[in-house]
Structure 1
Amino acid sequence: MAKRRKPGSGSVHLRKDGRWEGRYVVEYDQRGYPVTKNCLARTKSECLQKLKALREACQPPARPKAIVSNMPFGDWLDHWYQTYSMPALRPSTQQEYELRIYRHIIPALGKIPLNQLTEADLQQFYCQLKNQGRLNRTELYGPSLSDRSVRGCHITCRAALARAVEEGLLPVNPASGCKLPGEGKREVRVLTREEMQRLLIQAKEDGCYELLLLELSVGLRRGELLALQWVDLDLETGELRVSRQVSRVRGKLTVSRPKTDAALRTIVLSPAVTEQLRRYRERVDSRWMFPSPKKEDSPRDPAAVRKLLRRVLERAGCPKIRFHDLRHTFVTTALAYGMDVKTLSAVVGHRSSSTTLNVYTHVTESMERQAAAKIDQGIGKQEAPPEEAREAQRSAMTTFTAVPGKRRKPGTGCVTQIGDHLWEGRYSPRGPDGKQRSRNVYGHTPEECEEKLKVLIETMKAEIQAERRQFREAADTA
């Protein structure tokens, strides 16, 4: 009679294909059904070894045997995070906490008994982080850790020790009196009107015009912008619903709810932006408003968009800024043009108007000039400039022309020389059925081939658009 395995150790059986399969129950779902993981091997002994490794990998972190005051600070910190902190954190925030706890705090302070941890130990630890705390990219940023990261480690230690005080393990919190580096706000760069024009001109050349136009028009967070789907936009009324965000968590692209309840909002777009998105909709065959050019049925990667913006800024001759600075630019520009703070706070998804005023508004050179002019009008009795001059100043446009990239833009086909005096142009779009279709044109010069290719592209786009309308009509009828 075969021996029965101990409960909780998993199961092993021989499959019909001759391989051995080991299964282990990880947890039970809300309905009470088991959630399992499996491993495969050619022999039973190999399968048992793999099953043992799988079982150990699925085990939760070992909890301290006893919660006592002289337990190692690392054990208490892990217990506090797993029990009290982690369940209430978003996945992206969990990643930040785990980096602080398991790569910075525990290696440095984890072996000190909890009741022997002093303010001096913590203060020395923060100084070490500030001077030699960076773990990677030291060749780019130097050995010191940023002030924000040092303060984050302190916040984590203080919260864990405060819980220890509440549970009677410590009489006082040793982190309460530590001195920390200043908060030091990061320098923010707001684009001028002329720089925004150059940015959009170059973006049209690089194939990201609609993405940057929408960002400069409503100031969405990067994750919110990339998570937009066409069902979120009403092309008749111009209403845009923001209900999700895209972020990268532990190397995987994740779609989740926005960071706060105030971020769940509806924005009304201007007629010009709505019309531009209507024309853009005809060229996009995806449920995502800004789909990934590499992965099917996936939004753009936030990291890829950051690199794209850097390239467009460089070609447009604009200063190097973060993608989030475009949000700052929108808020500051909206206030400069007279939008009231309460409405603006609702548009950008802030809980309170004070956040909008304190964090996202910046005094620009044009705003300083306008303030000086108003002072001259009120105190110096200087007359305001004529309306015609102000209108001409508002309508002034940049003379910048886009810098062509080394690669052809998506949707423009390709041209290849196939003979001494013969060039081939090819266009290969996907139809409404998802299948790729290709057509070719030929010319004796590259210029002649380019002209013929333009005509071919327009023709094929019209055909695909007509087929798409037929598919929609058939779906509506059904």
Structure 2
Amino acid sequence: MLFSAAVDEYLEDKTKRLRGNTMEGYISALRRHVLPAFAGREVEEITHDEVQEWVDSIPTYGAAGKAYKTLRQVYRWTVRKHQMRIWDVTQGIELPEAPVVRRPTLSAAEERETLCGIVGQEWEAVVLAQAALGLRRCEAAGLDWSDVDWRTGWVHVQRGAHWVAGRLVEYATKTRLSDRWLKLPRWALARLRALRGRLRSGRLRGALAPHQIAGRFRRLCHRLGLPWVPMTCLRHSWATIALEGGAAIEDVSVALGHSTVDTCIRHYLQSFRSVARRASDAYDGEMLMAA
């Protein structure tokens, strides 16, 4: 069976089951990396060494990982679907070593300056909510005014807005743990109350798509000389600021909607110094008490 035919069957099946934004990622990896290498090959003839050499030829870690995982999904789905009695050549493939990524973040003072600088913009509510709650960009763009308990400041995060194939679509949150309640700081709640006015429902983003908000946010910050990070990194800034302020890693992980604490440590903890300091102080305190 030609691998290109296997891809067609796979996409036809998965389009019925997976979200549009997920499918876009798979299709991109297939077109850019997988199909150019394997389209004309028989599935049964692809070898382990060939797959390893192909992975090694992709220059960046992120692209190599995405391409390999996409190939593996199509390959294993095809083997199961057609009950092929062949060895899985995608087993034991070694990916390039992951680079150390230091995502840019804002300090508390920088974030305050930036939030003050965007006051009055039509997209202010989305950026403010993302910064104050540590949301994913899609989650902030998916918030509705009715998701907020205006008396207590609790916010129900239950959907995300995505730009897929040239149109705006909304899906439920990424995972079960991503559907969560978060509490707005008092200053953020007060500002959102002012922005809401008489509205009782409707999306905070208005008619704008997430990428449009991100672009306008970037351009305004650059024009005014405000501290800036991509909207995606406002989430990283929230986690870093919370951890530097003494929050437990476990609590930050839950607030971010992660399945495991390890995810928070790997992706959002920019510096272990504050965490190590608290551990050291706790140890020192116990030793002093024992003296």
**Within the alignment, does 1:263 sit opposite 2:189 as a pair?**
no
C-alpha contact 1:158 1:173 (8 A) present in aligned 2: no
| Alpha-carbon distance in structure 2 between the residues aligned to 1:220 and 1:214 | 8
Instruction: Identify which of 79, 88, 92 aligns with 2:21.
Output: 92
In the other structure, the counterpart of 1:121 is 50
Please state how far the C-alpha of 1:354 moved relative to its aligned partner: 2.9
Task: Tell me: CA distance 1:181–1:354, structure 2 relative to 1, closer, same or farther (3 Å).
Answer: closer
| Alpha-carbon distance in structure 2 between the residues aligned to 1:209 and 1:165 | 50
Unaligned stretches of 5+ residues in structure 1: 1-70, 131-145, 293-299, 380-478
| Alpha-carbon distance in structure 1 between the residues aligned to 2:224 and 2:272 | 20
The alignment's TM-score, normalised by the length of structure 2, stands at 0.83
C-alpha contact 2:153 2:183 (8 A) present in aligned 1: yes
Map 1:327-476; keep pairs closer than 5 Å: 327-363=235-271, 367=274, 371=277
The 10-residue stretch of structure 1 (343-352 or 303-312) with the greater mean CA deviation from structure 2: 343-352
Please state how far the C-alpha of 1:280 moved relative to its aligned partner: 1.4
| Alpha-carbon distance in structure 2 between the residues aligned to 1:252 and 1:208 | 19
Give deviations 1:87-106, integer Å, cap 9, x for gaps: 44222111111222245322
Instruction: Identify which of 191, 195, 208 aligns with 2:106.
Output: 191
Return the structure number with greater relative CO, CA threshold 8 A, min gap 6. 2
Instruction: Identify which of 203, 223, 246 aligns with 1:288.
Output: 203
Please state how far the C-alpha of 1:107 moved relative to its aligned partner: 3.5
Please state how far the C-alpha of 1:208 moved relative to its aligned partner: 4.6
Work out the number of aligned pairs and report it.
282
Task: Tell me: CA distance 1:107–1:357, structure 2 relative to 1, closer, same or farther (3 Å).
Answer: closer
| Alpha-carbon distance in structure 1 between the residues aligned to 2:95 and 2:262 | 25
C-alpha contact 1:239 1:267 (8 A) present in aligned 2: yes
In the other structure, the counterpart of 2:69 is 155
Residue type of the alignment partner of 1:226: A
C-alpha contact 2:114 2:228 (8 A) present in aligned 1: no
| Alpha-carbon distance in structure 2 between the residues aligned to 1:309 and 1:147 | 29
C-alpha contact 1:202 1:315 (8 A) present in aligned 2: no
| Alpha-carbon distance in structure 1 between the residues aligned to 2:74 and 2:121 | 49
| Alpha-carbon distance in structure 1 between the residues aligned to 2:32 and 2:124 | 41
Task: Tell me: CA distance 1:337–1:128, structure 2 relative to 1, closer, same or farther (3 Å).
Answer: closer
In the other structure, the counterpart of 1:73 is 3
In the other structure, the counterpart of 2:220 is 312
**Within the alignment, does 1:278 sit opposite 2:196 as a pair?**
no
In the other structure, the counterpart of 2:288 is none
Please state how far the C-alpha of 1:266 moved relative to its aligned partner: 1.6
RMSD between superposed Cα atoms in Å = 3.0
Higher strand content, 1 or 2: 1
| Alpha-carbon distance in structure 1 between the residues aligned to 2:226 and 2:193 | 28
Higher helix content, 1 or 2: 2
Task: Tell me: CA distance 1:121–1:251, structure 2 relative to 1, closer, same or farther (3 Å).
Answer: same
C-alpha contact 1:241 1:265 (8 A) present in aligned 2: yes
| Alpha-carbon distance in structure 2 between the residues aligned to 1:250 and 1:94 | 10
| Alpha-carbon distance in structure 2 between the residues aligned to 1:82 and 1:210 | 39
**Within the alignment, does 1:216 sit opposite 2:131 as a pair?**
yes
The percent identity for this pair of structures is 23
Instruction: Identify which of 162, 166, 191 aligns with 1:247.
Output: 162
Structure of larger gyration radius: 1
In the other structure, the counterpart of 2:147 is 232
The alignment's TM-score, normalised by the length of structure 1, stands at 0.53
Please state how far the C-alpha of 1:247 moved relative to its aligned partner: 0.2
Please state how far the C-alpha of 1:74 moved relative to its aligned partner: 1.6
Please state how far the C-alpha of 1:205 moved relative to its aligned partner: 5.9
Give deviations 1:422-452, integer Å, cap 9, x for gaps: xxxxxxxxxxxxxxxxxxxxxxxxxxxxxxx
Task: Tell me: CA distance 1:213–1:99, structure 2 relative to 1, closer, same or farther (3 Å).
Answer: closer
Residue type of the alignment partner of 1:151: G
| Alpha-carbon distance in structure 1 between the residues aligned to 2:228 and 2:189 | 29
C-alpha contact 1:243 1:263 (8 A) present in aligned 2: yes
Task: Tell me: CA distance 1:207–1:76, structure 2 relative to 1, closer, same or farther (3 Å).
Answer: closer
Task: Tell me: CA distance 1:121–1:303, structure 2 relative to 1, closer, same or farther (3 Å).
Answer: same
Please state how far the C-alpha of 1:197 moved relative to its aligned partner: 2.5
Residue type of the alignment partner of 1:345: S
